[in-house]
A and B are shown apart, each in its own frame.
Chain A
Amino acid sequence: MSEVDAGDDATHLALRRIRTSDLSRLASVGLRTRKLRAGLSALGIAIGVAAIVAVLGLSASSESGLLSEINQLGTNLLTVTNGQSLFGTTAELPLNAPGMIGRIGPVSDVQFTGTISNVNVFRSPVIPSIDTNALSVDATSLHLYSAVDSSVARGKFLNAATATEPTCVLGAAAAQRLGIDRVFSGERVWLGNMWFYVVGILKAAPLTPEIDSEVLVGVPAAEKYLGFDGHPSEIYVKVVPTSQTAIVDSVLAATANPENPNEVNVSQPSAALVAQADTQAALNGLFLGLGAVALLVGAVGVANIMVISVLERRSEIGLRRALGATKGNIRLQFLFEAILLSVIGGAVGILLGAASTAVYASSKHWGIVIPPLAWGGGIGASVVIGAVAGLWPALRAARMSPTEALWSV
């Protein structure tokens, strides 16, 4: 029989909880005492997180770069092209389509080109006729480059005088394929069985890449020398203010061809670039997958280190149990240690990923964008990885009987 009354003390014995400040100090014991090992195992997590952050950051930065380029080019350009008729043949835009479009209120500029069929351009008459270089010959209105936000790289654009003569302006790609990189007097190309003199070369037009591979001739000259019928095939419409673009878009087909609006294609070139930006993002899945594999390997590394650590620190576990640590205290200590290890790796990874994004993006003159998903996800993922990797070792440490732990050394 007990001669001492235990009273109601027993419940009070179990109520002691370890303080959060003590827990965080305990969690760092293993890392502080084995710095190199902790650093190496955190490195695995760091590499994985860095890869993911860099991929997401670079993709977001490149998208922002592309979007800012699009913004700079403007989203207020609409193109009208001839579609297909009911019978599958190429429909023609009415001759007066540009004029009618120009009467829509917010339209500030209308320019057009008309493809001249069956006419090819060559460097000289001795080039075989099948080597067309995939260039097309188009008649153009006189201020095309201003509507499509391009400009003349060399020479001049056509004017009212040269438009009536056998002269031409080369698109950027056309000039390259013809092997002409400068304009000097007498420079000429063989176009529709006669010489046409080159007066200018255009810069690349990012929104309207089709112009790059065109050789442009004035409408009067085209009609006179090349049998051009005067029907526009592409009409470039500039809308001011930009906010009215959608409204103009909706009436454009009916305005261009009131009889058969369904034979007209209306498109917004900037929309294609936006879609291109989205496609780029889709390609990142592969790299994200690689980052995830690195994270998985890192997690295995953390789990491995924690298992070894629990084995090595049996006497510490035994001592702590003797000092009054509950199983829960031991479990928390090792779980927090694994999480801390992983989060340190994750934080370093985010810094590395952000730094490499910053370096690459600024070298490309993109805006530096680290999406919240990237760094938030990086930290979140490392907490989860630490918890998952540390769970089993922590449970094992807590399960260890204090006597076995103390007297196994």
Chain B
Amino acid sequence: MSLGDTTVVPIDGATSSTLSDRRLVLEMEQVTRVFPSDPPVEALRGVSFQVTQGELLGIVGPSGSGKTTLLHLMGTLDRPTTGTVRVTGFDVATLSDRELSGLRATKIGFVFQQFFLAEHQSVLDNVADGLLYAGVALAQRREEARDALAAVGIVERATARPTQLSGGQRQRVAIARALVGSPAILLADEPTGNLDSTNSQAILDLFEELHQSVGTTIVVITHEREIARRLPRQIEMLDGRIVSDTTVGGLDGSRR
């Protein structure tokens, strides 16, 4: 298995003849999320959008706009109060906790602002842990981890400890960990939040490269408009609602 396989979503092909070439990876239909407190907090108030395979989009909004809640729902870490969330066709509401875990293990990759790398492990093993819960043997995990590190361009640091790396390199390791299972969708939560502008640009360049060369579906959540503006599609959120969903014609058009 290589990263190139990301474009092939392993889903039953019976209905595929009726579909367009690109499949839906993520569907949100009238999704709400209310946190029970006094008074109840409506984090999401009816959000609907779809992400097609191979898309690179940004979800942008100020803090408190519901971005993070949306990320939890997209990543199946949380369930909606009402509405439907489908990830690679699976309706999250119909899946058990174990099945959702399996979905995360095989179909979803996460990248976090804080990297969350284990300091006692080598870079290679950190990346290999991306497949730990997918039922893959250690030797094969490491092999695929090496491929993923090559894809993010730091395979030469495979034996280093995360503490020996710069922030930008650490985020590359975290991205490699998210990519290692060739997930259908990669969710990045403020991936540049802990990085300086140079490293931020480099990470965005990496996302674009993965998007273009491998066709990875990537959702970047950020509060920085500058970052979102670089992406071909931007969903803007405010107060738990989508206020705009803009697709720039081509990737080049998004660049200034």
Contacts and interface: CB of A to CB of B under 8 A. Distances in A.
Interface in B115-139: 116, 118-120, 129-130, 132-135, 137-138
Nearest to B107: A13
Given A5-B15, A19-B137, A406 B112 contact: yes
A76 to B, nearest CB: 66
A9 B90 contact: yes
A322 B99 contact: no
Contacts of A17: 135
Interface size class of A (residues with CB under 8 A): 35 or more
A315 interface: yes
Interface residues of B, number: 48
A6 B101 CA distance: 16
Interface stretch (B19-27, B162-170, B226-234): B19-27
Interface string A317-338: 0111111111111000000000
A234 to B, nearest CB: 76
A324 B105 CA distance: 4
A323 to B, nearest CB: 6
A388 B59 CA distance: 46
Nearest to B50: A3
A324 B86 contact: no
Given A9-B90, A406-B112, A322 B77 contact: yes
Contacts of B32: none
Nearest to B13: A5
Contact of A16 (B75, B130, B135): B135
B11 interface: yes
Contact of B138 (A13, A21, A322): A21
A315 B112 CA distance: 11
Interface in A250-265: none
A321 B95 contact: no
B24 to A, nearest CB: 5
A3 B77 contact: no
A9 B77 CA distance: 19
A4 B138 contact: no
B132 A326 contact: no
10 tightest A-B CB contacts, nearest first? A324-B105, A13-B102, A4-B89, A7-B12, A324-B133, A16-B135, A326-B101, A14-B98, A6-B89, A324-B104
22 contacts: A3-B19, A4-B86, A5-B15, A7-B14, A13-B95, A16-B105, A18-B135, A29-B120, A33-B120, A315-B114, A316-B116, A319-B116, A323-B129, A323-B130, A323-B132, A324-B101, A324-B104, A325-B132, A326-B98, A326-B133, A401-B77, A407-B68
Given A4-B88, A5-B12, A15-B135, 16 more contacts: A4-B11, A5-B14, A6-B88, A7-B14, A9-B90, A10-B99, A13-B90, A16-B135, A21-B138, A322-B77, A323-B104, A324-B104, A324-B132, A327-B101, A401-B77, A409-B114
Interface of B: 9-12, 14-15, 19, 23-24, 27, 68, 72, 75, 77-78, 86, 88-91, 94-99, 101-106, 110, 112, 114, 116, 118-120, 129-130, 132-135, 137-138, 177
Interface of A: 2-19, 21-22, 29, 32-33, 315-316, 318-329, 401-403, 406-407, 409
